[in-house]
Amino acid sequence: MPELPEVETIAADLRPHLVGRTIVRCELGFRTIVRHPEPEVFVHSVVGMLITSVGRRGKYILIKLVDELVLVVHLGMSGQLRLVDPATPLPNHTHAVFDLDDGKQLRYRDPRRFGRLLLGTESALRNARAMPRLGPEPIDPGFGADDLYQRFRNRKALIKAVLLDQSAIAGVGNIYADESLHLARLRPDRIAGRLSKKSVRRLHEALRVSLLLAIKNRGSSVDSYRDAWGEFGEQQERLQVYGRAGEPCFTCGRPLSLVRIAGRSSVFCRHCQR
Ligand SMILES: [Zn+2]
């Protein structure tokens, strides 16, 4: 599933090509990929709209339009948002096509259909519960180690589960939770509320380092993730623990362990992470 670095890569790539453009046509191949409002209303409302900015919040791509409207894209498990020449053959599982006034096409493709498109003002989307309340951005310079400590305090859940909880911290998924915990030398199955301030400080730094490095390397193409041009990221070559259960730890050489936490597999080193 695309996480913060992958979504950030797509948003940053699209920004210079989308800002200032107008959406002149929208066609849905699979109507229910639009979760809010009704698909007909979505198509009708988005056509003729000028794009004013492209950003990211958690794992959501926010394409801002005039009148405070936001076209929200969540890539789910296998979503791909791509900017192409309209002559490019339309691949299977393309669920939405947006024609732009410069002749380019923005396409949303999603074989597994866990992704979604939303349209509305931010407050309308919140009120309709189309978008959940998200925790702070872990790479925001204003989000300090003390803030993370406050988020963990009194939580009886395991650290890994809290890292995956989007209302606690936004944008972290299975890949970067495992990578950050390894870098911070913390086991994923420790109780979040029992971490010392010192441990939380280490984890805060590890989250920033892991996420920023992955953005620099244009994300991890561990499954179907591709950037806005259809290219692979490079961070998958550099992952330390994710997807490496049973393989030797790069630090100590012992085999990496696998546990299930919050329904997700977690890979860690029993020797290096305490
Ligand atoms: Zn190790």
At 76-99, the pLDDT tens digits run 999 999 999 999 999 999 999 999
Cα–ligand 1 centroid distance for 270 (angstroms): 7
DSSP-assigned states of every residue in 114-147: --EEEEE-HHHHHHTTSS------TT-TT--HHH
Q: 145-152 and 197-216 helices cross at what angle (nearest 10)? A: 120
Q: Which of 56, 57, 59, 64 is catalytic?
A: 59
Reply yes or no on whether 156 is catalytic. no
Reply yes or no on whether 59 is catalytic. yes
Reply yes or no on whether 264 is catalytic. yes
- Give the model's pLDDT for residue 246: 98
Q: Which of 3, 8, 137, 179 is catalytic?
A: 3
Cα–ligand 1 centroid distance for 148 (angstroms): 25
- Give the model's pLDDT for residue 223: 82
- Give the model's pLDDT for residue 118: 98
**Residue carrying structure tokens 């996420």:** 211
Task: From 33, 115, 132, select the one nearest 76 (Cα to Cα).
Answer: 115
Exposed / middle / buried, residue 5 (Cβ in 10 Å: 0-12, 13-18, 19+): buried
Reply yes or no on whether 38 is catalytic. no
- Give the model's pLDDT for residue 62: 98
Q: Which tens digit of pLDDT belongs to each residue from 203-241?
A: 999 999 999 999 999 999 988 899 999 999 999 999 999
Cα–ligand 1 centroid distance for 253 (angstroms): 6
Task: From 198, 186, 200, select the one nearest 143 (Cα to Cα).
Answer: 200
- Checking 243-249 for CB contacts under 8 A at 24+ apart, the result is 243/267
- Give the model's pLDDT for residue 130: 95
Cα–ligand 1 centroid distance for 104 (angstroms): 48
Residues of the chain with pLDDT under 50: none
Cα–ligand 1 centroid distance for 168 (angstroms): 28
Is the Cβ–Cβ distance between 262 and 161 less than 8 Å? Answer: yes
Cα–ligand 1 centroid distance for 210 (angstroms): 17
Q: How far apart are CA 149 and CA 140, in angstroms?
A: 15
